[in-house]
Chains A and B, each alone.
Chain A
C-alpha cells in the first residue's frame, strides 16, 4: 500500500510531505496502517479552542483502487498512531 503523509501548520507553517510503501515500514507500523483502513484511530485529546501553531496531519492510504484518508489535529492523535507519524515525519521533505 502507498502511504502519504502531509504534515502542515506548526510555528513555521511549512508543509512536509512523505510518501512510502507500507512494506518498507516496521511490522508494528504496517499493522497500524492496516487498522487505519477500517478504523479512525483517534486519541481522547481534543484541540482546545484558541490553540495555535500546532501540527495537523493528513494521512492518505492507497489500497488497490480505494483511498482512505485520515486527518488529525495534534492533540487528537492516538498513541498507537504516533510512532507511525513520527517515522513518516522523519522521512518528510518540504512541499515547496
Chain B
C-alpha cells in the first residue's frame, strides 16, 4: 500500500508546498484538504466570537452522544418559567402522554443532529433540552422562547391539536435554537423567512430520518400530525407551497414573494420559497434527504459568511459553494442545488 502523506496531520504551509510538487490527482486532494481545513479554522474563530445566552443551570454534558432532557408540566399556566418537573433524562415513561411525546421527540431530534451532523445538542456543547408542556388554556401553538425552552400548547381542537404529537414540529422548534447559536438569523423579513425554512427543513429531516424514508416516500408536509380540521391536512407543504390547507398562501418562487406587515413580514409565508428549493434539490438527487442535501444545508447554516441579515440569495450561494466543495464542482449534488434555487427563481450570489 502506498504512503499517502496528505492524509496525515500536516500544516497548511507544508500542504501548499507538497501540492505544488504533486501529481494532478494528489494535488486536487491536497487542495480540497486545505479548503476544508480553512473552513474549520474560520468556524472555530466564528464560534469563539458568538455569544448566546444559555439557560440557567445549564451544564456541559461530559461526553457527546446523549441528550439531557427535562420535561415540565405548566398546568395551563401562561408563566414563562418552568413549572413542575415531571420527567428528566433517563427516567421511564410517565402517565401523561404529552410529557412522553415531548421527551421522545426531543430524543429523536437530538439523534438526527448527532448521528448525521455530529452536533451535540442545540449549541453543539450538550445544552440541556427543556420542554414546557400544557402551556396555556387550549393554546393553539408551540414555540421556542429564545432562552432555551420549547413551549407546547394542547391545541384548541380546531386549528391545532396536541402539539407534542408532531415530531417535525419538535424538530422545527429546536432547530430555531440551533439557528440562534449559528447564523442567528433575524426573525423578520427575508432573513426571518430563511430562519423559518431552516426549521422546516431540519424538522422534516428529523421525521424522515426516524421513519427511514427516501425522498420519494416522504410526504414533505409540516405539521400533518398536529393540525385540527381547520388546517388539515397540514400547516405547510415543501413539495407544493400554497396547497397544504385552504388557508395556505405560501409562494413557491420569488415572483410571488409576499410583502406584508403581519407575521414579522410574512416569515411563515415566504419560507415556502427556500423550502421548495430544498425539496427540489433533494428529489433531484434521490436517496435520503438527510444525506447530501441535509449536509449541504447544515454546512451552509454554520458557514461564517452567514449573518443575521442573510438573504435567500446569499444562502443559496453558500449552499452551492458547499456542494461544490464537498462533492466536486460538476457533481450531481452541486447541480441539484443549482436546480433547486433555479426552480424557485432565487439568484445565486
Contact = CB atoms under 8 A, between A and B. Distances in A.
Given A52-B195, A53-B143, A11 B262 contact: no
Given A50-B184, A52-B173, A52-B176, A13 B80 contact: no
Contacts of B212: none
B78 interface: yes
A51 B268 contact: no
Interface of B is mostly: mixed
B61 interface: no
Interface-centre pick from A52, A55, A58, A82 (highest chain B CB count, 10 A): A52
A8 B144 contact: no
Given A51-B187, A96-B247, A82 B146 contact: no
A96 B263 contact: no
Contact of B180 (A10, A50, A74): A50
Nearest to A90: B156
A56 B145 CA distance: 13
B263 A50 contact: no
Given A9-B263, A53-B141, A94-B247, A48 B146 contact: yes
B172 interface: yes
B162 interface: no
A53 B264 contact: no
B68 interface: no
Nearest to B172: A11
Interface residues of B, number: 40
Nearest to B79: A45
Contacts, number: 102
A82 B136 CA distance: 11
Interface in B227-263: 230-231, 235, 247, 249, 262-263
20 contacts: A6-B262, A9-B263, A10-B140, A11-B235, A12-B160, A12-B223, A12-B231, A12-B268, A13-B269, A47-B146, A49-B53, A50-B176, A50-B180, A51-B143, A51-B144, A53-B141, A54-B141, A55-B141, A56-B264, A96-B249
Interface of B: 52-53, 78, 80, 137, 140-147, 159-160, 163, 169, 172-173, 176-177, 180, 184, 187, 195-196, 199, 223, 230-231, 235, 247, 249, 262-264, 266-269
Given A10-B140, A48-B147, 13 more contacts: A6-B262, A9-B262, A11-B172, A11-B173, A13-B267, A48-B145, A51-B144, A52-B195, A58-B262, A74-B143, A94-B230, A96-B247, A96-B249
Interface of A: 6, 8-15, 45, 47-56, 58, 74-75, 82, 86, 94, 96
